[in-house]
A and B are shown apart, each in its own frame.
Chain A
Amino acid sequence: MAEMEPGRRAVAVPLLARAAVALYPRWWRERYGEDLLSFVTDLRFDDRSVLRALPDLVAGALRARLSGSGAPAMPSLWWARARASVTLATLPAMLLLPLVVLAMERGAYTNGAGQLSAGQRLAETAGGVLFPILLVTGIVLLFGWRLLVAQTPEVPGGAGRFGFEAAMAAPVLVLGGALALSWLSNRLSPDGLKSASWARAPGTHRWVVHLTWASGHPLLGPALHEAAFVWAVAGWTLAAVLVARACRRAPLATGAIRAGVLVARLTAACTVALAAAFTVYALAIILQPWHLIASGGCASVPPIAALRAYSGCSALTAPAGHTVLTSPVSGAAGVWIALAVLGAVLSVLGARLAGESMRTAVALDA
């Protein structure tokens, strides 16, 4: 018979292990949750490392969520899974859009007859390709969500169609607010940024950027400029949260989920194209010869610091006979590329899971 050793219940389950078990889907926790916690208790009782088991627990939670293996054959559970996968497929695209828009804000400093190198021309081309992909992604998201909303029944409490409509209005409000703040900032500083200089903070290894504004209010202009950025980032994140919440609370209407799966597939395709073009663009930007990136106004900045520290390089001037392309991605480009690739992977995964879950749900319904 089973090997049991009484008296083991006295050992408490560590909080981290409980948190890891909480990562499993609900149906899994209902079925195996107690068993998992008992396993962890036994590990502690035998003086084995629970910390070492944590990665395996987390990986198990991911596998359970992705494969759905062992999930009960309940159509509602599989429809809910399809709905969650649609969210997983579309949210990364929504979060990637502003990042890519920000990255496309590029400039070129030419000094004399500055010619673009092959890499710089590639960056220009990839930057140009990004724009139509962004447009298509925006259209897919907008019309896709409209289609989804049209298929979603209204329910009392605003959890249905209203939730989606509020979530869709949020990005528009965010963009409108950011544009208004930027406009106000430019009005208060008609000539915009005049110069930027670098200095190492005394006694530290940090580089500090000093911005000088030509006219207008010395503080209000820059402050509004920064406020526009903060508003855009915070507002967009909030919009993504609203979309996720609306998806989570929306009723499980079969038609809406079918529309959602279609939107998820189209969005995933757009996100992959976006990530590919963006990666080419970012690599071409950062692979410019470093002396071009760190020349002129940034001459005093070591090349590695120039790549990491300040993304804008607004004061950059090119040496004679050279052109320098600047972009926000020239700062921490690795992070930008990783985010784009991660977004594409999540989106594709979400679309695949949405399709699979919907097929299972349809089969169970039949």
Chain B
Amino acid sequence: MIKTRLFPKPDPSLLVLTSLAGGPKHGYALMKDIEGFSRLTLGPGTVFGCLARLEERGLVRALDPEDRRRPYELTAVGLAVLNDQLDELSRVTSTSMARLRRRRGLAVMPSGGPADG
């Protein structure tokens, strides 16, 4: 089994946008949520670095602080950008999965090739 990662980890900004698609969250809640669905732990510097970049581009906005912690939510632009990004990704993953399934199907067939019917 190949243990080394061939491809870079998902972009933290995409993870943050995905997490915020589930509703507004503050920094720590974002980190825990991302850890839950991606098994990647983002540090505070990375989380707030992403939030700063996304806020600058108008993709997220800060809400009023609650107990000193400011929650962030997706803006309409952020939602559209996330949708576009995921569309692109899903085209790649669906093609990749379909081809993998076809290969697996071929692999379990008899050695003589596809069944004659």
A positions within 8 Å CB-CB of B: 1-4, 6, 8-9, 28, 31-32, 34-36, 38-40, 42-43, 52-53, 55-61, 63-64, 69-70
Beta-carbon contact of A36 and B27 below 8 Å: yes
The residue that B71 contacts in the complex, of A2, A32, A36, with Cβ under 8 A, is: A2
B30 to chain A, nearest CB (A): 9
Min CB–CB distance A33 → chain B (angstroms): 10
Bound Cα distance from A58 to B65, whole angstroms:
25
> Is the Cβ of A38 less than 8 Å from the Cβ of B52?
no
Once the chains bind, are B63 and A39 in contact (CB under 8 Å)? Answer: no
Q: A40-B44, A60-B43 are known contacts. Are A28 and B66 too (CB-CB below 8 A)?
A: no
Known: A2-B24, A3-B26, A28-B52. A63 touches B67 (CB 8 A): no
Provide the residues of chain B in CB contact with A2, threshold 8 Å.
23-26, 29, 63, 66, 69, 71
Bitwise, B18-62 to A at CB < 8 A (1) or not (0) is 000001111111010000000000111111110111011000000
Contacts of B70 in A (CB 8 A): 34-35
Contacts known (A3-B26, A6-B67); A39 close to B52, Cβ less than 8 A: no
Closest 5 CB pairs of A and B: A60-B45, A56-B43, A70-B52, A2-B71, A42-B28
Chain A residues whose C-beta falls within 8 Å of the C-beta of B71 in the assembled complex = 1-2
Give bound CA distance, A56 to B47, whole Å: 10
Complex CA gap A36/B47 in Å reads 9
User: What chain B residues lie within 8 Å of A38 (beta carbons)?
Assistant: 26-28, 68-69
B26 touches which of A4, A53, A56 (Cβ 8 Å): A4
Give Cα distance in the complex from A9 to B52, angstroms.
24
A235 to B26, CA, bound (A): 49
Bound complex: CA of A64 vs CA of B53, how far in Å?
A: 10
Chain A: minimal CB distance from B81 (Å)? 16
- Residues on B with C-beta less than 8 A from A9 are 67-68
Of A56, A57, A58, A69, which contacts B53 at CB under 8 A? A69
A1 to B56, CA, bound (A): 23
Distance to closest chain B CB from A98 (angstroms): 35
List chain B residues, Cβ under 8 A from A59: 43, 45-46
How far, in angstroms, from A38 to B42 measured CA to CA in the complex? 15
